[in-house]
Structures are given as C-alpha cells and as structure tokens.
Structure 1
Amino acid sequence: MFFKDVVGQENIKSRLIRSVQEQRISHAQLFSGPSGTGKLAMALAYAQYVSCKNRSETDSCGTCPSCHKYQKMAHPDLHFVFPIFNAKQFNKPVSDDFLPKWREKVLANPYFELSDWLSHIDAGNAQGEIYERESESILRKLNLKSFESEFKVMIIWLPEKMNIACSNKLLKMIEEPPSKTLFILVTENEEGVIGTIRSRAQLVKFPFVDNQSIKNALLKIEGVDPAIIPDAVHLASGSYLKALSYLSPSDDEQFYFQKFQEMMRFAYARQVKDMIDWADEMAKIGRDKQKAFFAASLRLVREYFVSNMKRSEIVYMNRAEKDWGKKFAPFINERNIVAFADEFELAIKHISMNGNPRIVFMDTGLRMVRLIKR
C-alpha cells in the first residue's frame, strides 16, 4: 500500500512521513476516526514506508524486496490482529488462522467495515471479537528478532473489540515494548479502547475526507459514470466507503433497505402475522448485522424527515431510497420523528446488551404500527 493510494488525508501523510525521516517513530500509535476515512489503508502505507529500503521524500519505492512483500501483505515482520469468531474448523482460533481471508479482503479494498469482514469469513450470527488467547500470539511474535526490517510492525484493527483480559496483556507490551516494535491500533470507537492503552499511544485523529479527494479517487475507477459522481460525493459526507457504496450498494445495504421497507409496510397495513414472520427472520441474522439494520433505519427516518423540508442539499440518500421516499416520507413528521429515533436507538442498545433478538424485533415492529400513522 502506498501513501498515494490513500484517499485524501494529506496532512496526516506529511506528518507520518516526517516522523520516519526524522527518526521520531512512536512505538504505539492510535489511528482514530470515522468509518471510511482511510485509517487501515494509512496504517499499511505507513508500515510499508517504515520498512522500505529506498524510500523517497513522499512514498515508499515499490521496487525493493520489502515493498514487494508488503504489497502481498506477506512480509515476515508485518503482523495483524483483528476480530474473529470461534469457527468450528479451528481449535481456539487466533487471527493467524484467518490470515489468508484477511489478505484477500484487504488486498481487494482496504476500505471496509466490521460487518463486511464478518460476512467475508462466514461468521453468521457470531459477533467479532479479539480473544484473550490472541495476546499470547502477539507476545510470541513480537519477542522474535526482526527478520528483515528494522521494525516489527503489529497492526491491530478495531482494538475496541478486544477482550478485557487481552487488553490488559497488550497494555503491558505497550508499556514495555520489545526492541524496535511499532504498534498501530486502528479504531472507529476511541472511547471503546481502554483508557490505559489510549494514554500510552500517540493519537492520530483522522478527519472526514475532503470532497475533492473523494471525487478524484472516484474518477480513477474504471467504468464509473462521471454524471453520478457529484451525487456520490454529496452522499459520502467525507467517507470514501459511503461514496463507493453509492456507486455499488453492498448486499448488506440493499438487505437493510429492503427489510426497512417491509417493516414499514407491515406496520402501515397492521399485518401483525407478517410482522411476526419478519421478526423471526431478522432474529436469525448476526448481532452486528442486527445493530447495523437499526442504525440504517435510524438514518433513513432522519433522511425522510429532512426530505419533507425540500432541502435537497442536506438530504443524503441514494436513488432507490429517494424514489421510495416520494410516497413514504410524509409519514415521517414532527409528530413521530423523535419517537422513531428513540425506538431504533433503544433497539440498538438492547441488541448490544444481548437481548433476545426475536423479542427486540417483534417489540420494535409493533411499536412502528402505533407510530407510523401519527
């Protein structure tokens, strides 16, 4: 991964490059920011630059043996930790057991979310987690001498998913790191990382990506219709991942929208039996997807409420959502918008607290019956 492949974030690129050139590399760094801002891509580009044998003033060379191995994510001094699940084919699995799948996913596109990753590894209903046993694997790898590079690099994606026991063991490693070790923690929920780790890592805040950078990146994609790029940039709201999803909505996004439509149709028609069947179906998807569905529903009611104001510049929906909303939007109004938002936020909370998903979906669906005709 090269710095030039990271969309936008020029200030952060310059800062990281300068730290390497001035030999002021902090041993633990926390890359924090919203989804789609390029944190993982930047971590990979930074690690490649640190290990490059012929780095330039602006990027790694791409031709030295180290760069070739980094581009395949197969460098012996590059290590990864990421959320996994207890797959039956492995006995007490760790991240290394899923490494081929991880390489496949990241090399295809380093801009993705946890739900995309869990779908890629067929996690089903499981929630991604970094287990306590992962700390033993980290310690074993980092206590080895570097094979080729000056630094051993450990990239931990979504440390907020780390088991508390694993977090405490990682803290000890960060406090007393092995020689020439670089930890890069990539988080979308800074507050979810234990405070003692945050206090010992150098924070690198990732802002939203500027519109011009997103536009330039989309124009480079082969086969993209330039006419739809302005809408994609507007919908992105600073997230390159959202811009990509506008061009090609993911299966999950299409599924969430379809199930939102079904829920509202059943609620409007007071089709309780259909709502029960709908709740049974939604209860079978994974908890991360269940939370993502309610988050998508929360976004949609907000957008439909705002669309009633005839202010297109502050509406962020794709074409399918806009088209359906022409008839549905009037049902989201000042008499029920707050109640809708409260119900979806409460559902997310209950799913996060391991509430019975069938009851949560059934209860939420029935409450929609009462709210939609206000």
Structure 2
Amino acid sequence: MQFKEIIGQDDVKQHLLQTVAENRVSHAQLFLSPAGSGAVPLAIAYAQYINCEQKTAEDSCGECTSCRKYERLIHPDLHFSYPFFASKDVKIATDVLEEWRNMVLENAYFDLDVWRSKLSADNKQANINIAEAHDIIKKLSYKAFEADTKVLIMWLPEFLDREGNALLKIIEEPPAKTLFILIAQNQEQILSTILSRTQIVKIPKLADEVVKQYLVEKANLSEHQAAEYSFLADGNLIEANALLADQVNNNAGYFSEWLRMAYSNRVPDMMAFTETAASWGRENQKNYIKYGINFLRECGLILSGAEALVKLPPQHLEVAKKLSGVLNMPVVEALINELEKAHYHIERNANPKILFLDVSLQLVKIIKFKTLPKGTQYIYT
C-alpha cells in the first residue's frame, strides 16, 4: 500500500516521510485515531516505505520485490496482531491471518464489527491473549528474512489485558531493526505500561471536504448528496461506505418536515410518516435518526451563537436557521435525548411502526406543549 492510495491525512503522511528522511524512526509508535480515519492503511504504507528498495522522497516505488509483497500483505517480515475470538481451532492471531488479509485487501477502512463479521465469533469476547503475546515475542526474536526492518502492526492494543505486560521488555528493548506500530482508538484503555513506552502519532478524523470529494469520485454522487453523506459520516470513512451500501432517504427533507408536523400537531400526517419510515429498513432508519441528532446539534450551535462552527451544507443550513427560530436549547436537548433513545431501540430491532409513532408524539409534547423530561432545569417563556 502506498501513501498516494490513502485518502486525506496529508500532514500525517508528511510527518511519517520526514521521520524516515531524517533517520529518526521511533521503534515503538502508537497511531492514535478515531475509527474510519485511515490509521491501518497509513501504518501499512509507512512500513512499506521504510522497507522499499527504491523509495522516493514522496512514496514507496510500488514495484520492487519488497513493495510487491507488501501490496499483498505477504512479506515475511511484516507481522500483524489484532483482537480475535479464541476457540478450539483459533489460539493465536495467525490462525485467522488469511481472513485478516482478505478483509484488509478488500477495504482497509474497517472496524471491529466488520472484523467480527468475517469470523465465527458466536457470543465470545474479542481479545489479544497471552498465547498471542508469546507468539509475537517468538516471531520478533528471529532475524529478518528479507527486509531491513521487521514490522509488527498491532490493531487495537486496547484488547490487551494484563497479559500484555509480557510484551514490555521486547517493546522497550526490541531486537535490532524492529518496528512496533500500535493502532488504537482509545488511549485510556491501553495498559499504561505499554503506553509509556510508545511515541504517539495523532491521526485526526478526516475533514468533511475530503470525505465529500471521496464520495463524489468513488460513487459519482452529486455535490448535494455527497455533502449530506459527508455530514452524516462525520469524518469516518467506514460510515461513509456504509451509507453508500444502503439506499438512503432524503434525510434533510423528511426530518425538517417531521419537526414541522410536531410543531403543528399534525397527528394524521405523523401517522402516515410512521408507515413510510417503517418501510425504509433498519439501516436507513438508523441513518435517518443519526442525521436528526447531528442536525439538532448544529441547531444548538446556532442557538449558542457559534454559527461559525456549524458544518451543515448550505441548503441544510438555511433550514436549520429557520427551525432555530422556533426552538431553544432546552427543547433541542430534549429532542436529541429522544432521538438517541430511538436509535438505541432501532439497533435492538424495536417494532418501527410503534417506535416512530411514539417518538412522533414525544416530539409534539416537547415542541408544541413544552413538556420536558424530568430533571430539566430550564424555565420556558
């Protein structure tokens, strides 16, 4: 994988290239990033660049023997570790290496749910166990087969339990020419003993404009539709691809009309909308509710006088401004709370007709009659 194949993250790419050019590659690095930002492809491209036989100042060559093996993830000095679901036949990560390679080669932007779908997980909990830690030590104790530098890429070290302390010595004093790249999403869940031995590389979420451009080029979406998908994805390319995989409704139009129905107390119209929403399918229903939550949060920014921070597409921004004229912060917070509960229940297969009708009536109570959940400490005029 080459840097040029990775979406966005130009500043991070430049930083990684510079560490190689200046010969200051830290032997243990922690790529800290939100899901869907491209940390896994960045780590692979970085490792490929380090071991490329004909690298340029901007990228690996993609043609030498090392690069060709890296492109297929079969280089003998490239090792992976990741959470897996231990069973009678699966003791360590290499027991499901083929599934891992196929998933990464298919799409290097994935999360634990995608990885779980590739395995026989049953009801087991994913982890990186002590047997895996010992296998890592064993593999890295060997001399490099071909490359100048052996590389271990560990995805989600948060799943290392106390057994991860077995890796402390080899991380702190690794064999010569050994590189550890840990890819994490939650710094607080990593063993402090491991965290203290790594150099952190922060990878930000993708900019909305980057995701939008990706959607326009990959899926031939219109600028309008790509902007809406980008807003929903919020810098997460996994979410953006999920939106592409499903037929998404006109979320902006439906949601603003839903609020208008509640404000006007148009119960018959809301009942008709319930029938429509129930026909969308669970994923589209979740996307719709998620859009509503994000939209209301942007309305909250407008009400707070922070319009400069609003990232709604222009056509949606006008709608948000109009709705903000009849809402206030307590109402917005109460609406968001109702929608978050609705999203939770949709994920758990609630009956959509009952759910959307109930939420519709709750919207009427909150918007029309200013009936707020208990504990709200605001006074309405």
TM-score after normalising by structure 2:
0.69
**Counterpart-to-counterpart distance in 2, 1:335 and 1:220:** 36
After alignment, is 127-136 or 301-310 more displaced?
301-310
Which residue identity lines up with residue 138 of structure 1 in the other structure?
Answer: I
**Counterpart-to-counterpart distance in 1, 2:71 and 2:135:** 23
User: Which position in structure 1 is the counterpart of 2:126?
Assistant: 128
Any stretches of 5+ residues in structure 2 without a counterpart?
Answer: 248-269, 272-285, 314-326, 366-381
After alignment, is 19-28 or 212-221 more displaced?
212-221
SS in 2 for 1:29: strand
Distance of aligned partners of 1:241 and 1:342 in 2 relative to their CA distance in 1, 3 Å threshold: closer
User: Which position in structure 1 is the counterpart of 2:244?
Assistant: 247
User: Which position in structure 1 is the counterpart of 2:159?
Assistant: 161
Which residue identity lines up with residue 96 of structure 1 in the other structure?
Answer: T
Per the TM alignment, residue 63 of structure 1 is displaced from its structure 2 partner at its CA by 0.5
Distance of aligned partners of 1:308 and 1:37 in 2 relative to their CA distance in 1, 3 Å threshold: closer
User: Which position in structure 1 is the counterpart of 2:111?
Assistant: 113
Q: How does 1:184-223 map to 2 (within 5 A)?
A: 184-221=181-218, 223=219
Which is greater in Rg? 2
Distance of aligned partners of 1:229 and 1:338 in 2 relative to their CA distance in 1, 3 Å threshold: closer
**Counterpart-to-counterpart distance in 2, 1:189 and 1:110:** 19
Per the TM alignment, residue 121 of structure 1 is displaced from its structure 2 partner at its CA by 1.2
Per the TM alignment, residue 240 of structure 1 is displaced from its structure 2 partner at its CA by 2.2
SS in 2 for 1:133: helix
Per the TM alignment, residue 157 of structure 1 is displaced from its structure 2 partner at its CA by 0.2
Per the TM alignment, residue 159 of structure 1 is displaced from its structure 2 partner at its CA by 0.4
CA contact (8 A) 1:82 1:156 kept: yes
Distance of aligned partners of 1:45 and 1:173 in 2 relative to their CA distance in 1, 3 Å threshold: same
Which residue identity lines up with residue 162 of structure 1 in the other structure?
Answer: L
User: Which position in structure 2 is the counterpart of 1:29?
Assistant: 29
Which residue identity lines up with residue 99 of structure 1 in the other structure?
Answer: L
Any stretches of 5+ residues in structure 1 without a counterpart?
Answer: 251-267, 270-294, 317-329, 348-356
User: Which position in structure 2 is the counterpart of 1:233?
Assistant: 230
Cα deviation code 1:295-324 (max 9, x no counterpart)? 9899577347559889896679xxxxxxxx
Please state if 1:302 is matched with 2:293. yes
Per the TM alignment, residue 213 of structure 1 is displaced from its structure 2 partner at its CA by 2.8
Query: Aligned Cα RMSD in Å?
Result: 4.1
Distance of aligned partners of 1:345 and 1:162 in 2 relative to their CA distance in 1, 3 Å threshold: farther
Q: How does 1:1-374 map to 2 (within 5 A)?
A: 1-88=1-88, 90=89, 93-165=91-163, 167-221=164-218, 223-227=219-223, 228-249=225-246, 299=290, 302-303=293-294, 305-306=296-297, 336-337=334-335, 340=338, 373=362
Which residue identity lines up with residue 302 of structure 1 in the other structure?
Answer: I
Distance of aligned partners of 1:47 and 1:216 in 2 relative to their CA distance in 1, 3 Å threshold: same
CA contact (8 A) 1:7 1:240 kept: no
**Counterpart-to-counterpart distance in 2, 1:50 and 1:22:** 12
CA contact (8 A) 1:3 1:45 kept: yes
CA contact (8 A) 2:85 2:127 kept: yes
Distance of aligned partners of 1:149 and 1:343 in 2 relative to their CA distance in 1, 3 Å threshold: same
Per the TM alignment, residue 217 of structure 1 is displaced from its structure 2 partner at its CA by 2.8
CA contact (8 A) 1:297 1:344 kept: no
CA contact (8 A) 1:306 1:314 kept: no
SS in 1 for 2:79: strand
**Counterpart-to-counterpart distance in 2, 1:144 and 1:5:** 31
Distance of aligned partners of 1:58 and 1:314 in 2 relative to their CA distance in 1, 3 Å threshold: closer
Cα deviation code 1:263-294 (max 9, x no counterpart)? xxxxx99xxxxxxxxxxxxxxxxxxxxxxxxx
**Counterpart-to-counterpart distance in 2, 1:309 and 1:22:** 46
Per the TM alignment, residue 177 of structure 1 is displaced from its structure 2 partner at its CA by 1.1
CA contact (8 A) 2:92 2:131 kept: yes
Per the TM alignment, residue 51 of structure 1 is displaced from its structure 2 partner at its CA by 0.8
Per the TM alignment, residue 139 of structure 1 is displaced from its structure 2 partner at its CA by 0.5
Q: Kindly indicate whether structure 1 or structure 2 has the higher relative contact order, using CA contacts under 8 Å at least 6 residues apart.
A: 1
Distance of aligned partners of 1:309 and 1:34 in 2 relative to their CA distance in 1, 3 Å threshold: closer
CA contact (8 A) 2:232 2:291 kept: no
After alignment, is 181-190 or 17-26 more displaced?
17-26
**Counterpart-to-counterpart distance in 2, 1:96 and 1:297:** 39
SS in 1 for 2:130: coil
Cα deviation code 1:38-73 (max 9, x no counterpart)? 100100100100110000110000110000000000
Distance of aligned partners of 1:234 and 1:170 in 2 relative to their CA distance in 1, 3 Å threshold: same
Distance of aligned partners of 1:70 and 1:343 in 2 relative to their CA distance in 1, 3 Å threshold: same
Distance of aligned partners of 1:335 and 1:195 in 2 relative to their CA distance in 1, 3 Å threshold: closer
Per the TM alignment, residue 370 of structure 1 is displaced from its structure 2 partner at its CA by 11
SS in 2 for 1:60: coil
CA contact (8 A) 2:77 2:147 kept: yes
CA contact (8 A) 1:301 1:340 kept: no
Distance of aligned partners of 1:336 and 1:216 in 2 relative to their CA distance in 1, 3 Å threshold: closer
Distance of aligned partners of 1:82 and 1:296 in 2 relative to their CA distance in 1, 3 Å threshold: farther
SS in 2 for 1:200: coil
SS in 2 for 1:197: helix
User: Which position in structure 2 is the counterpart of 1:291?
Assistant: none
